[in-house]
Amino acid sequence: MSSNKKIKELIKKSETFIAKSNITLGTTGAVIGLSGGIDSTICATLCARVLGPSHCLGVIMPAPDSNPKDEEDGIEVGKQLHIPYITFPLLPVLNHFITPKINYETQIKSIIMLGLPVSRDLDASCIMKMRARMYVLSYYASINNYFQCQTLQKTEWLMGWFDPFADALGDVAPLLHLYKSELYEMATHLRVPEFVIKREPGPGTWPILDREIMYGLDFEELDLILRYIELDSDRITTYYKTKFRKEVDISIIENIRNVVYSTEDRRTLPLHLQEE
């Protein structure tokens, strides 16, 4: 199957899923948190194509320490897709919680580069930003009888780059079966704005980029490794060398494997008793 045909089929399957989910849930549209990133933009694009732009609502939620460009790009995406959008600053919500001022260079970057956990207060601050977004999206979904569109994709799902009670929440997850590299392939077919495609992805809660925690890999390389970890294959290095014409450090594969296994609890929460 040609790559072009494969991507068209992926788009069609995602659109069919959105349409069926909307009927199943008895909703009349979709609420999407817009950041100007590729994940939320593709979700918004697919929903607008399936449900119609007037049945979508984009919510732009600037938070303390967010890149100001996130708000600008989110607004521009809403305009280009012709969907209604609103801006809901999170600071009034977050004022009820302790949100310490973050020094990126000394408190985050150096720690994450060493693979060490950040402090509890900084971690809690990040989590509350993500959860505050979900409160807002849930409200607007409820009052409009829209479904809340979750924007996670498979790469961040397997790497544990999410909070199970924040960005993992939602009624419909149209991208969860797709790797990040597949989204970039879909973007051209969906005519996603060039500024979205060229933008470097990051969580938006801290001033950090995804590439800074990807062991020097790009998304295509990371996704190939994740595919074969899922298959429990011991031939990852062979497939990697065949595809990319270079070797991969075994320690990198083991680090990624450990990340996938160590974050499994996030994908199975809440913990609960099983009847025997």
Q: What is the pLDDT of residue 204?
A: 72
The span from the CA of 214 to the CA of 113, in Å, is: 10
DSSP annotation of 172: B
The span from the CA of 254 to the CA of 52, in Å, is: 44
**Coil/strand/helix, residue 80:** helix
Q: What is the pLDDT of residue 66?
A: 79
Backbone angles phi, psi at 148, to 5 degrees: -90, 115
Backbone angles phi, psi at 233, to 5 degrees: -90, 140
State CA 255 to chain mean position distance.
Answer: 21
Q: List residues bridging with 85 in a β-sheet.
A: 58
* 3-state SS, one letter per residue, for 99-133: CCCCCHHHHHHHHHHCCCCCCHHHHHHHHHHHHHH
Count the neighbouring beta carbons within 10 Å of the beta carbon of residue 210: 18
From first to last of the 276 residues of the chain, give the pLDDT tens digit: 458 899 999 999 999 999 999 999 999 999 999 999 999 999 999 999 999 999 999 999 998 777 888 999 999 999 999 999 999 999 888 888 766 666 666 666 666 656 666 677 777 878 888 899 999 999 999 999 999 999 999 999 999 989 999 999 999 999 999 999 999 999 999 999 999 999 988 877 666 778 878 888 999 999 999 999 999 888 999 999 999 999 999 999 999 999 999 999 999 888 877 766
Q: Which residues contact 235 (CB under 8 A, 6 or more apart)?
A: 228
User: In CATH, what number does 3-208 get?
Assistant: 3.40.50.620
The span from the CA of 59 to the CA of 80, in Å, is: 15
**Coil/strand/helix, residue 31:** strand
Count the neighbouring beta carbons within 10 Å of the beta carbon of residue 228: 19
Q: List residues bridging with 30 in a β-sheet.
A: 56, 147
Q: Which of 182, 140, 118 is nearest to 56 (CA)?
A: 140
CB 32 within 8 A of CB 177: no
The residue ranges of every structural domain in the chain are 3-208, 214-266
